[in-house]
Chain A
């Protein structure tokens, strides 16, 4: 039976997926089409706790990867199948196209090379635009530019909701996701996987999928496979208020260098604008701190594309880590351990590629002996959750008549009602923490960043989860928000 009973692991499973990021969640959902017992083990309190929550959220068109690489193949395939997936799973997605901006004639030459590469990768609709065409589409781009490469198929999604959408559908189809459950050992016998160990117990299994993101090298070595290792590479971001959303209509890239796609300016699917990421190697796979140098660098980079960027309209900053194993993804059976399949080193465009990675991994599992019998009752869709504010008045009236909590607005920046928050908590694999609610339905994502709704959402979480307010957490186990008021506190006007 599916579910997210956080405190138990089953004694055995046909497949154990390590990691509840976009890759692990997409694989679990793909596996849930078959008659299998599947368990996802995630060390964090929620899905998408690693790289999958802090990235650019772009479904890349697929012109920049080396033809023939996993990246190139899976990016283009992923980008094609996302439309249906987003519809089925309720993932917010907008096709807005992307522009790679060239500052001079040299960079225009690079654009032509990118276009050729895109054509060999199977990307459709690529076109080179001159300066005037670019400025007509993007009036806030620097008039100094020379031109741009237009890719109409680029889209933006909410990366958290993409992961949560896959995870919810997997759970609806019988997968068990256990959060706060790190895998501490992968046991092998005669070079083949037999079980994984966690603080919550041991799970016997013959098939382990390593989708542990920046920790995937670590997990691989746990099983005795040291064929690759991961270097985390940090990318920092600044998110802007919706008041400045007019600054970009499509994803705006600089002409890429060797290391990354560069610092971009882009709309989010929710209608904000963000800038970033930079690329700096770090040691600590948990290091998600933003830095003054990093933030300054991305502002400078973004201003090369959009000079009038109003820095004072920033509403938040964050950072994510790319899991870099080499030039390409590490995908397929381990060369050293039988039963271990890697979906590792999934750097950009991993978000875009995830559904295609899932297809390849399921084929790998079949090749390594997993029997795949389709499950006739597989349901590919998640139920639609209406966004109150987007409904016409008669629908709003009907929603409130059925559930009065639709009439109570909790988040005033994004107009989110109590009913939507409660639904996010009660959903399969639903929110357990303040950040979990924030990431699913967005209270706290607006310009007040939870200043107004934070205490209210905390109270709703406590009520829905049946816990004390002092037990409600921001995110991880150590992240409680409030403490009991101490005895003997002095009244405001009683002190001498």
Chain B
């Protein structure tokens, strides 16, 4: 069978896949291909009809489809090939990408370099083990969002939302605007998991209560959901006896976290970070497998699409350089670890700089809210860099650019910490 060759293939045509493809093209890749299983490009953005995308990337406040559209136009102009309705089944060392589509059948594409950009999926009810019955009317917030915004159907009229992730907050507003009653949002943590602006614009503006340190302990209903039992939880997240109360509803939406979608990455034997749920990468976004890169939510869950585009562009450029032999492999790397107060750090490894770049951009998630805080870099036992942060929240990404000269001073271990700062 004929196996077409591309310099760079991105798996996924959401914001990360498109930005990676464009980055690759910019860096001189001739033949670039995007493989997307949906019938259009844009990924999750297509169902996010609310505003708030692109403030950093385009200095404009766009809707999800609006942001996607700008990228789709750029992809078209750049002469990048796009195969829609195409699902990738496996990737193999050396850059073989096997995929399948109704019109093309099973095919293998040869790639000079591959960028994983499959995005993430939602955590489910089962994953958080909410007891009770299993009636209709329990949806993940993202699935419900797709039904409302793309297919035009409502998942219910009387809604309880579990988890304060951003999609749940956005859906609280959407469902209210659709004429549904949104009773409350219940968050098991003592702080919210969504962006502050979403709490204000999606809950406060509509007088929807947010209960922190509360959890749904049972779902009721035989055919359709009829209600939930809620309880306050203690510091170990165990329900506090006597605090239970019942709430009627016909719909439960879950917004309890996103998980990078790494079936392909894992089955390729790539080294994973158990905390981010994504691959371990270096500053070029190269994974432990030579020529395989990763960017966007498949690597670590981002809060803003602008960061995704930026990161994916780097990955795409690096992929093009790898395909042309201008970027080395994965050897000689320095480990970067998450120390006290830091839940995740990306990249997790640094390879020797190629000479072009002046700084490396790091993305962090904090373990707990702090106000104010110090983000510090420890090279072996010395603090070599630090920055004061006005507030940190686990729900919001911390981003820092650090000079190459600061990073490569001969230390064997680099560790980041986030600690409380005094006022």
- Docked Cα-Cα span, A455 to B50, in Å, equals 20
| Residues of A contacting B157 in the complex (Cβ-Cβ under 8 angstroms) | 483
- Docked Cα-Cα span, A495 to B206, in Å, equals 11
- Docked Cα-Cα span, A315 to B133, in Å, equals 15
Chain A residues 472-490 with CB under 8 Å of chain B are: 473-486, 488-490
| Residues of A contacting B139 in the complex (Cβ-Cβ under 8 angstroms) | 454
Of B95-103, B278-286, B352-360, which binds chain A? B95-103
- Docked Cα-Cα span, A239 to B134, in Å, equals 14
Are B106 and A455 in contact, with the CB atoms below 8 A? no
Cβ of A129 within 8 Å of any chain B Cβ, yes or no, is no
B residues contacting the other copy or chain, number (CB 8 A): 59
Are A400 and B100 in contact, with the CB atoms below 8 A? yes
Are A485 and B153 in contact, with the CB atoms below 8 A? yes
Whether A393 contacts B106 in the complex (CB less than 8 A), given A409-B37, A486-B178, comes out as: yes
Whole-angstrom distance between the Cβ of B368 and the nearest chain A Cβ = 19
- Docked Cα-Cα span, A18 to B98, in Å, equals 49
The one of B63, B129, B153 in contact with A295, judged by C-beta atoms closer than 8 angstroms, is: B129
Of A285-293, A322-330, A337-345, which binds chain B? A285-293
- Docked Cα-Cα span, A476 to B239, in Å, equals 32
Are B51 and A485 in contact, with the CB atoms below 8 A? no
Cβ of A397 within 8 Å of any chain B Cβ, yes or no, is yes
- Docked Cα-Cα span, A490 to B148, in Å, equals 12
Cβ of A314 within 8 Å of any chain B Cβ, yes or no, is yes
| Residues of A contacting B135 in the complex (Cβ-Cβ under 8 angstroms) | 474, 479
Of B117-125, B184-192, B308-316, which binds chain A? B117-125
Cβ of A459 within 8 Å of any chain B Cβ, yes or no, is yes
Are B179 and A488 in contact, with the CB atoms below 8 A? yes
Are A450 and B143 in contact, with the CB atoms below 8 A? yes
Whether A451 contacts B121 in the complex (CB less than 8 A), given A396-B106, A476-B223, comes out as: yes
Whole-angstrom distance between the Cβ of A397 and the nearest chain B Cβ = 5
Residue of B nearest to A479 (CB): B136
Whether A412 contacts B154 in the complex (CB less than 8 A), given A451-B121, A489-B177, comes out as: no
Cβ of A407 within 8 Å of any chain B Cβ, yes or no, is yes
The one of B85, B98, B127, B148 in contact with A485, judged by C-beta atoms closer than 8 angstroms, is: B148
Chain A residues 433-482 with CB under 8 Å of chain B are: 447-452, 454-455, 459, 469-470, 473-482
| Residues of B contacting A483 in the complex (Cβ-Cβ under 8 angstroms) | 153-157
- Docked Cα-Cα span, A152 to B98, in Å, equals 38
The one of B122, B132, B143, B178 in contact with A289, judged by C-beta atoms closer than 8 angstroms, is: B132
Chain B residues 79-113 with CB under 8 Å of chain A are: 85, 87, 89, 98, 100-106
- Docked Cα-Cα span, A413 to B122, in Å, equals 13
Cβ of A405 within 8 Å of any chain B Cβ, yes or no, is yes
Grouping DSSP codes into helix (H, G, I), strand (E, B) and loop, the B interface class, with mixed when no group exceeds half, is mixed
- Docked Cα-Cα span, A478 to B226, in Å, equals 11
Cβ of B131 within 8 Å of any chain A Cβ, yes or no, is yes
Chain B residues 135-182 with CB under 8 Å of chain A are: 135-137, 139-140, 142-143, 146-148, 151-157, 173-174, 177-179
Cβ of A245 within 8 Å of any chain B Cβ, yes or no, is no
Whether A413 contacts B263 in the complex (CB less than 8 A), given A295-B129, A400-B105, A479-B136, comes out as: yes
| Residues of B contacting A484 in the complex (Cβ-Cβ under 8 angstroms) | 153-154
Are B121 and A452 in contact, with the CB atoms below 8 A? yes
Residue of B nearest to A313 (CB): B127
Cβ of B224 within 8 Å of any chain A Cβ, yes or no, is yes
Contact with A along B239-279 (1 / 0, CB 8 A): 10000000000000000000001010010000000000000
Whole-angstrom distance between the Cβ of B225 and the nearest chain A Cβ = 10
Whether A448 contacts B153 in the complex (CB less than 8 A), given A396-B100, A407-B105, A413-B263, comes out as: no
Are B223 and A478 in contact, with the CB atoms below 8 A? yes
Are A318 and B127 in contact, with the CB atoms below 8 A? no
The one of B103, B131, B179 in contact with A486, judged by C-beta atoms closer than 8 angstroms, is: B179
Cβ of A389 within 8 Å of any chain B Cβ, yes or no, is yes
| Residues of A contacting B122 in the complex (Cβ-Cβ under 8 angstroms) | 448, 451
Cβ of B222 within 8 Å of any chain A Cβ, yes or no, is yes
Whole-angstrom distance between the Cβ of B219 and the nearest chain A Cβ = 8
Residue of A nearest to B126 (CB): A316
A residues contacting the other copy or chain, number (CB 8 A): 65
Are A409 and B100 in contact, with the CB atoms below 8 A? yes
Are B153 and A454 in contact, with the CB atoms below 8 A? no
- Docked Cα-Cα span, A455 to B122, in Å, equals 14
- Docked Cα-Cα span, A314 to B223, in Å, equals 24
Chain A residues 2-23 with CB under 8 Å of chain B are: none
| Residues of A contacting B212 in the complex (Cβ-Cβ under 8 angstroms) | none
Cβ of A408 within 8 Å of any chain B Cβ, yes or no, is yes
| Residues of B contacting A488 in the complex (Cβ-Cβ under 8 angstroms) | 179
Are B143 and A455 in contact, with the CB atoms below 8 A? yes
- Docked Cα-Cα span, A317 to B152, in Å, equals 31
Cβ of B218 within 8 Å of any chain A Cβ, yes or no, is yes
Are A292 and B217 in contact, with the CB atoms below 8 A? yes
Chain A residues 372-424 with CB under 8 Å of chain B are: 389, 393, 396-397, 400-401, 404-409, 412-413, 415
| Residues of B contacting A243 in the complex (Cβ-Cβ under 8 angstroms) | 266
Are A315 and B127 in contact, with the CB atoms below 8 A? yes
Whether A482 contacts B132 in the complex (CB less than 8 A), given A407-B105, A448-B122, A451-B124, comes out as: no
Cβ of B334 within 8 Å of any chain A Cβ, yes or no, is no
Whole-angstrom distance between the Cβ of B281 and the nearest chain A Cβ = 20
Whole-angstrom distance between the Cβ of B144 and the nearest chain A Cβ = 9
The one of A292, A415, A481 in contact with B89, judged by C-beta atoms closer than 8 angstroms, is: A415
Residue of A nearest to B51 (CB): A493
Whether A408 contacts B143 in the complex (CB less than 8 A), given A314-B129, A477-B223, comes out as: no
Cβ of B49 within 8 Å of any chain A Cβ, yes or no, is yes
| Residues of A contacting B127 in the complex (Cβ-Cβ under 8 angstroms) | 312, 314-315, 447, 449
Are B89 and A291 in contact, with the CB atoms below 8 A? no
Whole-angstrom distance between the Cβ of A234 and the nearest chain B Cβ = 12
The one of B124, B239, B263 in contact with A449, judged by C-beta atoms closer than 8 angstroms, is: B124
Are B154 and A485 in contact, with the CB atoms below 8 A? yes
Cβ of A492 within 8 Å of any chain B Cβ, yes or no, is yes
| Residues of A contacting B106 in the complex (Cβ-Cβ under 8 angstroms) | 393, 396-397, 400, 407
Whether A455 contacts B102 in the complex (CB less than 8 A), given A292-B217, A475-B136, A490-B177, comes out as: no
The one of B89, B151, B266 in contact with A455, judged by C-beta atoms closer than 8 angstroms, is: B151
Are B102 and A407 in contact, with the CB atoms below 8 A? yes
Residue of A nearest to B217 (CB): A292
| Residues of B contacting A480 in the complex (Cβ-Cβ under 8 angstroms) | 136, 224
The one of B131, B152, B177, B261 in contact with A292, judged by C-beta atoms closer than 8 angstroms, is: B131
Name the 3 nearest CB pairs between A and B, nearest first. Answer: A478-B223, A316-B126, A474-B136
> Known contacts A405-B102, A484-B153; can you find 11 more A-B pairs with CB under 8 A?
A317-B126, A389-B89, A396-B100, A397-B106, A407-B105, A409-B100, A448-B121, A451-B124, A478-B222, A483-B156, A491-B177
**19 A–B contacts, CB within 8 A, in A order:** A312-B127, A314-B126, A315-B126, A316-B125, A316-B126, A396-B100, A408-B87, A409-B89, A412-B87, A469-B153, A474-B135, A481-B137, A483-B156, A483-B157, A485-B148, A489-B177, A490-B177, A492-B49, A495-B177
